[in-house]
Structure 1
Amino acid sequence: MVNKILKKLVTVACLFLLQAASVVASQLFIGSRTVDISPQLPVAVTGQFHLRIAEIAETPLIATAMVLETRGAEGDLAIMVSCDALYIPTDLVALVRQAVKKQLPDIDENKIFLNATHTHTAPVLALEGEYLIPKNGVTQVKDYRDFFVDKVSRAIVEAWEDRAPGSVAWGMGYAVAGYNRRIVYSDGTSGMSSKTDLPEFRSFEGSEDHNVNTLFFWDEKGKLTTVVVGIASPSQEVEGRYAVNADYWHPVREGIKAKYGEDVNVLGWAAAAGDITPHMRYRKAADDRMRNLRNLSRVDELARRINLAVDESFAAVAAERHSELIFEHHVEELLLPERWVTEKNYLEAKAFVQNAKDQIAEDPKAADALYRMMNWQDRTVKRYEQQLENPKPMYPMDLHVIRLGDIAICTNEFELFSDFGIRIMARSKALQTFVIQLAGSSDWGSYLPTQRAVNGGAYSAIIHSNIVGPHGGQVLVDRTLEVIDQLWDK
């Protein structure tokens, strides 16, 4: 009799657990689409302080959209678009969401986010403040923005229409594709991408992250449809050219397509890398020798390393596919304390702005070199003046945190210094955590530096480079982890 009761209790418990599992684990639906977002030439490209007009396109620029969905009472949605761009202005994200909502009125458009690969050879996307672009003979920013919104929104709609049951696997490999570019000297100051072959060179200021995080998606028939690659390195190997170029992401995508199928869609996610560069800071001659022996350009060498990591991860995880899994997408507006502008910052910036205006008035051609820098510092002037009215300014940022099975995906709008990304990954309850920087930005891709960087000074850590400072960075870390905890505690 006791045994029968125990068996019934066990049976009831098992049924309860199965029902509970069915509530949180749901069939994954996947859709993806790739579109060409290359501009009409000539076009102004961004990423440097001086005006550059690109007359040629050395590679296409790509946007890749992916839709993830589960259905039913516990269903959720995430729409992610990776774009070959320096950054994605938040007002442009809003326009994409509006365009999608018109075509798909039943979706939650707030579940859409766009990220930039941070190439310095892509068109200007800000309507004002970056450069004085010629009015004739050059693609205008508004025209390219309209084109961008149309292309990206259509890619999202087509990915939505393509969605079908599928499966996913997550992997992790390693590739040296980024190096810390903050150089510390004996007097305690830091430089940005400055020299290391000096007696006063002491160390690199921050961390490096050589992980290559990957996601692989298959359809019901077992065909690979989409690959996600996350790398803590901006696509800036060819950053100064007067050309349109997707940088190392182009050969990365081409390599993946050549091996796994030309119709595979590839999303590039830039992990926390505000203080990282693909340019070597020392040992360059030895590295160049090995690259030359392989007969590879620098971007091809970076792609070789990354694709090797992708291949090794795929071989290890391809058999471990998940079609029914926990999926939840949390979205919120996170208010971050802005970095304080001092009176000294204000006076110095105001003097620079006035001097630049005088130079441009005397020689209008000087605007090619001075206009962006002038506006960069003029924003500091305006921030100080706003502080007089509001002494506790806050920066609103869209925060996306996703649980996809055992992994977490979290976004931010900044060129986030690597230490912050590592803080998130180190404390995350997820098996593996993908950090995506530059998922929208209202400030030309504002850096978010550590306190150590602010103390050292130099570009990327001075007041003009930062809307949000180290304190706000820690608020971002802590809130992201709170949300991850909540998703995992469920």
Structure 2
Amino acid sequence: MKTLLHYPFKFVGIAVLLLGVASISCGSELHIGAATIDITPERPVPLDGQMHVRISEKAETPIFVTALALESRDGEQVLDQAIMVSCDIVAIRKGVIEIVREKAKDKFPGFDLNKLFLNATHTHTAPVTMKGERYRLVSSDVMKPEEYTDFMSDRIVEAAVQSWAQRKPGKAGWGQGQAVIAQNRRATYADGSAKMYGATNVPDFRGIEGYEDHNLDVLFFWDLKDQLIATAVNVPCPSQEVEGLKVIHADFWDPVRRQLRERFGKDLHILAWTGAGGDQVPRPMYGKPADERMRRLRGLTRLEEVARRVVRGWEEAYEGARLEPVAGAVLEHRVEKIELPWRKVTEKELADAQKGVDQYKDDAKEQWRYLWNKGVVDRYETEKAGTAGTFQMELHTLRLGDVAIATNEFELFTDYGVQMKARSPAVQTFLIQLTGSGGYLPTPRAVAGGSYSAIIQSSRVGPEGGQELVERTVNGLNELWKKK
């Protein structure tokens, strides 16, 4: 009787591969559905992502929501479910997920709506979705934030319903490529200070503050006829190439989508997942002349160059993933409410914030800055009164075969994401930030350096909470892997 040792190496490899596929399939069946719906407003809207009010003048590109529905079954028994919706907006503002779940409550019999979550791509040229005094001067012909939120949430529910209705047996795959998109945007100086977008061509410049993650993690979903129907692309960098314009724009996700659909069909559904990239931007902090020269030689805009890199990294991942599609990858989805400590306000931070309150309180055009500083003063008062409580966050951790997926509500500095990935039990780990609107979550060295994104006005949760988030995320993933 021959054993595997008697066969040529390549056959041993095939046997091991089949055993590996069996270990992540477990006889289950994965049902997949996807849908994409346009959320471009037809009227002018206030644009999110800057400290001043901007009103859109036109739609430079469409913006979308894309829903992916997954259901793992063993025969007729449902094992677990998830609906994930990526949105071309700056953040999932407070109250939006509750609005969506309320509108969806009668549309998904047998589905736990707590397992539906949203994420934002963080484009700074998309409509505002939060109400407030800062937009009270907007003229009557402009679509108000509450109006747009109602419009958008209807379409999110519609996309989720379509994806759920279209689910059918299929295959999943995962792969990794490399793409230099994320570039740390915090410069450090000889005196120990740091500055977001700080000058690097000055004598006291000493380096870039943090790490950059250039891995491009991709999920692929095929039907049983091997037709690619959806992909989730995890870029550890926000889409902020064209921020500051007065137009609706999906940023680099627009050319990425167009190029992928040109190659793989106009009906390909593309989820845009932003990884841990609170201290990143898709623009270089130094070497700009060389970057500009190479783009000129290639005949590309900066936006097109970023898209080129994403698409090439996606193709690298696809080359491997298509060789190992998994039919029946088991899905497991945990949802838990976690509590993180608020970042405590120091006396100096209180004094600085109070100066901002006094400076802007009577300026109707500077309501953003006024409220930004007032929030710090209010937090100090709750701390002093002993009523601060904790920051509550909904954490989703998922297992799909050998892949882990974890969410957070912050603009999470990359160092925290690296910790999560390094300690994850999965073969490959996807991190999705901005599933809520928790603000920046900076590292200890960023807080020490100061500047926007690390100062108290930018940050509700600080390094203590960041480390707690890492621990709770890794623990959640470990729990999923203990079962197998």
TM-score, scaled to structure 2: 0.93
Counterpart residue number, 1:385: 381
Q: Does 1:401 align with 2:397?
A: yes
Residue equivalent to 1:281 = 285
Q: Does the 8 Å contact 1:337/1:392 carry over to 2? A: no
CA distance in 2, matches of 1:352, 1:267: 39
| Structure 2 residue ranges without an equivalent (≥5) | 1-18
Give the aligned residue type for 1:341: V
Distance of 1:395 and 1:22 partners within structure 2: 36
Following superposition, the deviation at residue 489 of structure 1 comes to: 1.6
Measure how far apart 1:167 and its partner are: 0.4
Aligned residues: 461
The separation in 2 between residues aligned to 1:133 and 1:270, in whole angstroms, is 32
Q: In the alignment, what sits opposite 1:116?
A: 120
2:421 to 399, 420, 425: 425
Query: 1:344: how far off?
Result: 2.8
Give 2:33's match in structure 1, choosing from 31, 34, 47. Answer: 31
C-alpha separation between the residues in 2 aligned to 1:131 and 1:194? 30
Q: Counterparts of 2:92 and 2:353 in 1: how far apart (Å)? A: 26
Residue 57 of structure 2 is matched in structure 1 by: 55
Give the counterpart letter for 1:375 in structure 2. Answer: L
Identity of aligned residues (%): 46
Structure 2 counterpart of 1:480: 473
Alignment partner of 1:174 is 2:184: no
Q: CA deviation at 1:206?
A: 0.7
Displacement of 1:131: 3.5
Change (3 A) 1:343 1:409: same
Which deviates further from its counterpart, 373-382 or 128-137? 128-137
From 302, 310, 326, the equivalent of 1:298 is 302
Name the CA shift for 1:150/1:253 in 2 (closer, same or farther; >3 Å).
Answer: same
Return the offset for 1:459: 0.5
State the Cα distance separating 1:345 from its structure 2 match: 2.0
**By how many angstroms is 1:104 displaced?**
1.7
Q: CA RMSD in A?
A: 1.6
SS in 1 for 2:317: helix
**How far is 1:396 from its partner?**
0.3
Matched, 1:235 2:239: yes
Gaps of 5+ in 1: 1-16, 361-366
Kindly indicate whether the alpha-carbon contact (under 8 Å) linking 1:252 and 1:303 is maintained by their aligned counterparts in 2. Answer: yes
Q: Deviations over 1:425-468 (max 9, x none)?
A: 01111001001100122x5xx00000000000000000011110
1-side partners of 2:94 and 2:401: how far apart? 29
Is the CA contact (8 Å cut-off) linking 2:356 and 2:369 kept in structure 1? no
What secondary structure does 1:372 align onto? Answer: helix
Report the equivalent of 1:364. Answer: none
Is the Cα–Cα contact under 8 Å of residues 409 and 434 in structure 2 kept in the other structure?
yes
Give 2:224's aligned residue: 220
Are 2:63 and 2:250, in contact at CA under 8 Å, matched by a contact in 1? yes
Counterpart position of 1:272: 276
Which aligned pairs between 1:37-186 and structure 2 lie closer than 5 A?
37-72=39-74, 73=77, 75-128=79-132, 130-186=134-190
| C-alpha distance in structure 2 between counterparts of 1:159 and 1:275, whole Å | 33
SS in 1 for 2:222: strand
Give the counterpart of 2:436 among 419, 432, 440: 440
Q: Secondary structure at the match of 2:95?
A: helix
- Verify the 8 A CA contact 1:172 1:313 in the aligned structure 2: yes
Q: Is the 8 A contact 1:113 1:440 kept in 2?
A: no
Structure 1 runs of 4+ off > 3 angstroms?
Answer: 20-25, 129-133
| Deviation of 1:102 (Å) | 2.1
1:466 corresponds to 2:459? yes
Counterpart amino acid of residue 432 in structure 1: Q
Helix, strand or coil at the partner of 1:467: coil
Deviation at 1:481, TM superposition (A): 0.5
- The C-alpha deviation readout for 1:337-377, integer Å capped at 9, x for no partner, is 1100123322331232122123x2xxxxxx33x11111111
Q: Which amino acid aligns with 1:158?
A: Q
> What is the distance in 1 between the residues matched to 2:339 and 2:152?
28
Alpha-carbon distance in structure 2 between the residues aligned to 1:320 and 1:391: 53
Question: Partners in 2 of 1:345 and 1:276 — Cα distance?
Answer: 25
SS in 2 for 1:90: coil
**Contact 1:44–1:133 (8 Å) recurs in 2:** no
1:245 is displaced (CA, Å) by 0.4
Which residue does the alignment assign to 1:10?
A: none
